Structure 1
């Protein structure tokens, strides 16, 4: 065994001249590296314990005396005595009077065994069958011009105002007593969300109706947990949002795909036994069309007759670029069958991990319990900061600024798709959101287009994987939330040149 001691410190006189001392002992290597002069006993204890647990110090192996170890580490003998007494008390070491200190023979129970597959398995095979949630930027090889969907441009976020709100939240938190909070969320944030939804989405609610979640994904998961029983039929759009489908599948539901057309979800194709319907009516994901008023009313009537829950995922309905904003499905719900779900991931940034829902009153108490069981409550620091950010008017101002910016990006994207690239792409009508879909020409293959774009450092993402049934169309989802106007122009110009070169 070898003990190797070293210090790491910003104080020059504490650094060892050679960078470390080797203490010759018996069979193998164990390293003790002290950083500064604080908590020396704790540092030594943790490193010796780790060496025992991971097998570098074997059962029965003898350790240096406390005097020798103290000398070599340049610490007091009391420090090493305290370490050994603690390790002996916890059963990691044993001491024989007059013979020395040894690693406990009980540690043979921690001896490494040959790796075996599937020692611990998840319940059922459902987790193995779930696909990756959504295509995303490759972190190892990011494209120079990336049209990934679902992201925002943090360069345009008013971080100066946000820092003030976070500082305010820190002061509030410092004055608190350190207790747990309401699972439904911070009162000021719930009030701000309620006011915002009433003015922008025609969703009238009291602040007590709002439940704050860790993103829209948790809201969907909590609704599934509260409503779904194993074997229940759940209807989803096809193509649709893969993470929602995964939630329902993981909950044990039988997920049925329902086609969409130019008017949105086909209500006439809904399975009669569906207990829940998941829809994106303001901006169908991924194709982009809004659900017509006729379809919305038909869906509400259908759900009322069957006692089914409708989850309305309004993930980026804040941004509408043509015509008057379509009011939410929740605003038409007089029967109490719609759970409205929203998120700040598309208006601020995904890392914030704050979403919300307004469920039917019949589910409110159950969902509060489900939220508490899940994680008790979302981060109160971020909730307090966001509540102030909204109530002080910063959020509304930011939305207006981003609406103008995204309108410019959308117009630039359409200019190219309907111009220089019109022989390859046909954009689908889409009046809202921060992405649009372009269908490929009949003689064009989705995977081939993506591969050729990648050669030009243009990140494109197909829609085929968003169909659970056989894809009826091939296309590209162009996200413009995270890419500026100049990069849209440069990227699509480069893409056009690459595609023309490969056709010669």
Structure 2
């Protein structure tokens, strides 16, 4: 074994040059030595293999002559770009066959909606991304460097599955101030984004083939997939202008997943009577509720309704939040406020999965919250997003009013609008992409036949001054689609 190459080379006592050449050429053909890889200097490889340098030089010369490698003046010898000759592992005719070694769900796994058009677009109104350009990076870098020094100074090893205590305390204070969520540090579990929180909750609550999970329809696909992957039976439940239709919940539902503060993707808020009815259903049936509160920090009018967790008096609600919308998705930090009865099981699942997110990221976020930077950033971005939202509503209620009716919404980073006539959201979105505008359509988030057809407009990454131009391009698309 040659560590500097990472492949096994068996060099016999005779015919060494030919053996070295043959094995290197085979490794290049197979793709074990990838195109662009710099081969070791002849002297280094000769010493590693106990060969003469002339033997290695001769083998390299043969590879050069045959086109397996190429020489770059003053730089060295590099593997040339070749198409690997290894046969495909599965013939094209077997595309529909699935390897039985895979667990049942993963033989035909669910997929999330694609992010939209792959082609570059002039105006991006897709959902899910905040304006990362406005992140106070200098502050974040300073706090991250400080956290890294502290971890090194203390000689910290692995952290707690629940997360750092200072971050959990900061999160508890943050959700208490912003959402009136009653939580102490001991109730909080730090996760790698909201998606890991959904996955962990599914791991501890779902009995494969038996557990019934009710989800909003239309709703958030990654949440739905987390529970489906755990083996749950997914039952879609309709959403109207008051949120999830509690009367439509199946009696056998064990878990109900909702986004009551800013329903995804419609944007409606669940009314107080519906919230109370949902908690009543959960208590009477022995179900639990997963509350996804993903972007309600950005509120533009009216008093927010109490979170389900705030109204809960019976330990029924898992409250899930994320910093992907307030800061940036690449941070991969979220949290769950967990009922006492489920905490030990969820922490055990967390330790089995990945133990904890990086301690330095946790330390930086704890300081970012505790020193008031998060609150200031949210206030600043709320004003900025409010301007974009107002510009979007002006256009929707103006030139686009003949085709679209905005859905009432007072929070979050996107607005939705229903078609007034029988248009296809997918067809309109595809035509809009051709015109340089990326939007999303409501039907893509539905399970089965969609009840709502329309478009969803994200304003996290587009400036207020760009929105009129973007929707001006959308207007002729809608006119042509309506015929």
Q: State the TM bucket, normalised to the shorter chain.
A: 0.7 to 0.9
Offset of residue 52 of structure 1? 10
- Change in 2 beyond 3 A, CA 1:81/1:335: same
Q: Residue 127 of structure 1 aligns to a residue in which SS?
A: helix
Match of 1:80 among 46, 49, 57: 49
Match of 1:271 in 2: 250
Deviations 1:80-127 (A, max 9, x none): 3299xxxxxxxxxxxxxxxxxxxxxxxxxxx96762356855634423
Indicate yes or no: 2:174 matched with 1:205. Answer: no
Match of 2:150 in 1: 172
Q: Residue 418 of structure 2 aligns to a residue in which SS?
A: strand
Match of 1:411 in 2: 390
Match of 2:364 in 1: 385
Match of 1:115 among 78, 84, 89: 89
Match of 1:313 among 280, 292, 313: 292
Offset of residue 277 of structure 1? 0.6
Indicate yes or no: 2:206 matched with 1:228. Answer: yes
- Change in 2 beyond 3 A, CA 1:398/1:29: farther
Give the Cα separation in 1 of the matches to 2:29 and 2:108: 38
Match of 1:298 in 2: 277
Match of 1:491 in 2: 470
Indicate yes or no: 2:376 matched with 1:402. Answer: no
Deviations 1:123-180 (A, max 9, x none): 3442354443134144x41211011101011111111111111111111122132411
Indicate yes or no: 2:367 matched with 1:362. Answer: no
Do the aligned partners of 1:217 and 1:244 also contact (CA within 8 Å) in 2? yes
Alignment of 1:177-188 (within 5 A): 177-188=155-166
361-370 or 227-236, larger mean C-alpha shift:
227-236
Do the aligned partners of 2:423 and 2:481 also contact (CA within 8 Å) in 1? no
Offset of residue 343 of structure 1? 0.3
Structure 2 gap ranges (5+):
1-15, 34-38, 53-84
Offset of residue 248 of structure 1? 1.3
Offset of residue 451 of structure 1? 2.2
Q: Residue 406 of structure 1 aligns to a residue in which SS?
A: helix
Offset of residue 464 of structure 1? 0.7
- RMSD of aligned residue pairs (Cα, Å): 2.9
Offset of residue 293 of structure 1? 0.8
Indicate yes or no: 2:171 matched with 1:193. Answer: yes
Match of 1:249 in 2: 228
Structure 1 ranges of 4+ moved more than 6 A: 111-114, 501-504
Give the Cα separation in 2 of the matches to 1:77 and 1:204: 68
408-417 or 23-32, larger mean C-alpha shift:
23-32
Do the aligned partners of 1:135 and 1:461 also contact (CA within 8 Å) in 2? no
Q: Which of 1 and 2 has greater Rg?
A: 1
Do the aligned partners of 1:280 and 1:313 also contact (CA within 8 Å) in 2? yes
- Change in 2 beyond 3 A, CA 1:462/1:114: closer
- Change in 2 beyond 3 A, CA 1:369/1:502: closer
Match of 1:345 in 2: 324
User: When the two structures are superposed, what TM-score results if normalisation uses the length of structure 1?
Assistant: 0.79
- Change in 2 beyond 3 A, CA 1:121/1:344: farther
Match of 1:281 among 252, 255, 260: 260
Match of 2:57 in 1: none
Match of 2:458 in 1: 479
Q: Residue 254 of structure 2 aligns to a residue in which SS?
A: strand
Offset of residue 384 of structure 1? 0.8
Q: Residue 349 of structure 2 aligns to a residue in which SS?
A: helix
Do the aligned partners of 2:212 and 2:255 also contact (CA within 8 Å) in 1? yes
Give the Cα separation in 2 of the matches to 1:182 and 1:326: 33
Indicate yes or no: 2:131 matched with 1:153. Answer: yes
Do the aligned partners of 1:55 and 1:112 also contact (CA within 8 Å) in 2? no
